[in-house]
Amino acid sequence: MSGRFGERGRELLAHLRGVAGEVEVFEKHGRSRRFELAPEGESFGQSVEAGWAVRGGDGRRSWFVGGSGELPRALAPPPATVPGLRLPPPSELAPAAPPSGLDTPLLTESEGRALLAGVARELVRELPDVRPPHLRLDEGASEWVLASSRGVAAAGRGRSAALRVEVARGKTRLAAEFVARAAAELKPLALARRLADRLLALSGGALKGAGGTLVLAPPVAARLVEAFAPRLVGAGAERQLADLLGRDGRLGGEAVTLVDDGADAVGPLASPHDGEGLPAGAVTLVERGRFVRPLTVWWESATPSRAFGCARRDGWRAVPRHGPTQLFLAPDPAHAVADLVAEVERGAYLIAAEGGVRVDAAGGELSLPVSGFALARGRAAGGLGRCRLRGTFAAFVGGVRAVGRDLDFVAGDGIYGAPTVVVDGLALVADGD
């Protein structure tokens, strides 16, 4: 990061100090590349961006202004409106070390094209009758600085890659997304095999014989964690969980530990700081099935200067939002995934979520379209076809019997993760039932 990056912000902060209440200045520089391969042809594009945002106010009113390009050296604050502004104090906590791989260069045009062509080629090798896929890869890197009149000063870097695939085989179609910190982590053969497995699972018809124990791969379990997350956020979380908590505060089985940690290096958006410049770190919300605490923001803490940050800034145009950063079901190093699957005498292995979770807020019922395979004596016994996972949050958190040592994340309104999960109490039904 350039030593001069942030100088304008410090100058503007000094200019506004004392005339605009509390003030926070945020600057961000980024670059991104997009690679696309479709049956009609291929394309490549790249962009370089700079943006900034300034917010200020007091406990009663606030204002916000942002723009593209370089931060101006002076500005006139716009009229303030409700609600009021809360800016955090400097933290006494040391930030975590940045995740590795931030210095890896973005893919060149030839490397990006080769990656997409490799996925398409390996997919045809796995399933010769598959139709040419549509692939789009977005990779970007950024750096940012933040300073406030309360003394918060932070800087950071980030990067991410997302591969989106649309593919069809016969009447079976699917859309998939894979996320990683860097595009170089996306391996064509592994991705092609995951896509082929999903196509085979969706075109099968073995649902009728798939009753019994369910094994949820990380992309499925992580979507359930995402749907459950709102109940764990805010000072009123215990009230939201009242229908699930036992008298002893137990929420689920011994295998259930839920953690929010924006700095966890396994997560694709790991960062030492949150969107307000506070250190990010691990906050255990549920430990071995017992509810410990909600995910709360710094101003709800008895010691705000020692609270981990949990604010997300979705871009330089956005005001920071409080909520899960990287929330995940913690893995268990003692359980290999292969062993969990092998122990299932009769059941199903659900490998992917084929959409989002639908939740009936009144009854707590949940429904998730999934793909997977029937299991018989620990081995795949045919694709399930199009089906849905149904149940309740109580059945999910209360029915987790074991978790694997793996951990993977999915992108949603935040980043959510899970290992492979063995669960009882949820049901599989045909899609549409």
Q: Is the peptide bond before 419 cis (omega within 30 degrees of 0)?
A: no
Please choose, from the candidates 327, 408, 385, 394, the residue with its C-alpha nearest in 3D space to the C-alpha of residue 359. Answer: 394
pLDDT digits (tens, 9 = 90+) for 272-331: 999 999 999 999 999 999 999 999 999 999 999 999 999 999 888 899 999 999 999 999
Measure the CA–CA gap between 49 and 269, rounded to whole angstroms.
Answer: 19
- What 3-state class would DSSP assign to 405? coil
Every domain of the chain and the residues it spans: 7-202, 207-430
The one-letter amino acid code at 30 reads: G
Measure the CA–CA gap between 161 and 208, rounded to whole angstroms.
Answer: 38
pLDDT digits (tens, 9 = 90+) for 380-416: 989 999 999 999 999 999 999 999 999 999 998 889 9
Q: Is the model's pLDDT at 369 over the cut of 60?
A: yes
Question: At 184, which helix (H) or strand (E)?
Answer: none
Confidence band, pLDDT 50/70/90 cuts, at residue 209: low
Beta strands in 264-412 (DSSP E): 282-287, 290-291, 311-312, 321-322, 326-329, 346-353, 358-360, 365-376, 379-383, 387-392, 400-403, 408-412
Confidence band, pLDDT 50/70/90 cuts, at residue 2: low
Q: What is the pLDDT of residue 205?
A: 86
Contact between 252 and 286 (Cβ < 8 Å): yes
pLDDT digits (tens, 9 = 90+) for 72-119: 988 999 999 999 999 999 999 999 999 998 998 999 999 999 999 999
Q: 17: which 2 tokens?
A: 């100090």
Please choose, from the candidates 209, 216, 292, the residue with its C-alpha nearest in 3D space to the C-alpha of residue 250. Answer: 292
Spacing of C-alpha 258 from chain mean position:
14
Q: Assign domain 7-202 to its CATH superfamily.
A: PmbA/TldD superfamily (3.30.2290.10)
Q: 134: which 2 tokens?
A: 């549509």
Measure the CA–CA gap between 35 and 84, rounded to whole angstroms.
Answer: 43
Q: Is the model's pLDDT at 338 over the cut of 80?
A: yes
Contact between 80 and 62 (Cβ < 8 Å): yes
β-pair partners for 350: 216, 372
Q: Is the model's pLDDT at 268 over the cut of 80?
A: yes
Confidence band, pLDDT 50/70/90 cuts, at residue 1: low
Handedness of CA 253, 254, 260, 266 (dihedral sign): negative
Measure the CA–CA gap between 91 and 297, rounded to whole angstroms.
Answer: 13
Q: 423: which 2 tokens?
A: 């669960």
Q: pTM for the whole thing?
A: 0.94
